Amino acid sequence: MLKKKISPSMMCADWMNLGRVIETLKECGTEYLHIDIMDGVFVRNYTLGTDYIKALHRATDIPLDIHLMITEPSDRIGWFEIRQGDYVSVHVEADRHIQRTLAAIRAAGGRPMAALNPGTPLCFLEEILPDIDAVLIMTVNPGFAGQKLVPGTLDKIARLRRMLDEAGRPDIEIEVDGNVSFENAVKMSDAGANIFVCGSSSVFSKGGDISGNIKKLRESLTAV
């Protein structure tokens, strides 16, 4: 059973108090910081960027979970400062040479993660299992916070877990990203996810403070 890990979506953090947010996340034992990179083409939005990644690397030792929602990632991996142990996810829909890009992430010291939009079938992963440490299942259509779960993605998580275990890769982690609310996180965990990208639906929800929200989320994930 893979450890349940929390990866707060930093695009949803209070940008005016980022230092304090990062301190709190560190105190809460947050396993990753999720960094959404968007180019306005692969998704119709811009969010965080290359300098933001560098600033976080200097501000904290929490590993980053860099989500590249960009076209032509193979040409742009070198734009990003990747620290040993950072996850870097690229969308299989965005890259004609996905295997080469995943290998380049590993060569740069990162942990490669393949990302799939809700409409992309799991068979896109068949030939790249040797090249990844994790799969990112988008549980919303990417680009914006505050969206609602695409219901069919829960079954997709379960099918993926079975597919990975049957392929002899129980070590490959499953990350979920999008409307990871306190309720949805439990369903996603039961289906087989173990890394939770938490944004406005949970960790940064207005319903409580960060520490209390993380405590509530961890308790719901470990409840039998």
Which residues are known catalytic residues? 36, 177
Q: Which does 71 bind (CB under 5 to 8 A by kind): ligand DX5, Zn ion, none?
A: none
Q: Is residue 22 within the footprint of ligand DX5 (CB under 6 A)? A: no
x-marked contacts with ligand DX5 along 61-90 as a string, rule CB under 6 A: ------x-----------------------
Q: SS3 of 9, please?
A: strand
Q: Which of 73, 112, 178, 192 binds ligand DX5 (CB under 6 A)?
A: 178
Question: Which residue pairs, CB below 8 angstroms and at least 24 apart, start in 46-52?
Answer: 47/11, 48/10, 48/11, 50/79, 50/80, 50/81
Cβ of residue 223: shortest distance to Zn ion, in angstroms? 26
Query: Burial level of 74, CB count in 10 A (0-12/13-18/19+)?
Result: middle
CA 92 to chain centre: 14
Residue nearest to ligand DX5 (CB): 199
* Contact status: 175 vs ligand DX5 (CB under 6 A): no
Q: 145, 158, 163, 186: which one contacts ligand DX5 (CB under 6 A)? A: 145
Residue 8 interacts with ligand DX5 (CB under 6 A): yes or no: no
User: x/- binding map, residues 23-52, to Zn ion, per CB under 5 A?
Assistant: -------------x----------------
Query: What is the distance between the terminal CA atoms of the chain, rounded to a whole angstrom?
Result: 14
91 binds Zn ion (CB under 5 A): no
Classify burial at 169, counting beta carbons within 10 Å of its beta carbon; exposed 0-12, middle 13-18, buried 19 or more. middle
Alpha-carbon gap, residue 88 to 111, rounded angstroms: 6
Helix axes 18-27, 50-59, angle to 10 degrees: 50
Q: Which of 89, 101, 179, 194 binds ligand DX5 (CB under 6 A)?
A: 179
In the list 11, 21, 88, 160, the residue contacting ligand DX5 (rule: CB under 6 A) is: 11
Q: Are 109 and 88 in contact (CB under 8 A)?
A: no
In the complex, the residues that contact ligand DX5 under the rule CB under 6 A are 9, 11-12, 36, 67, 140, 142-147, 177-180, 197, 199-201
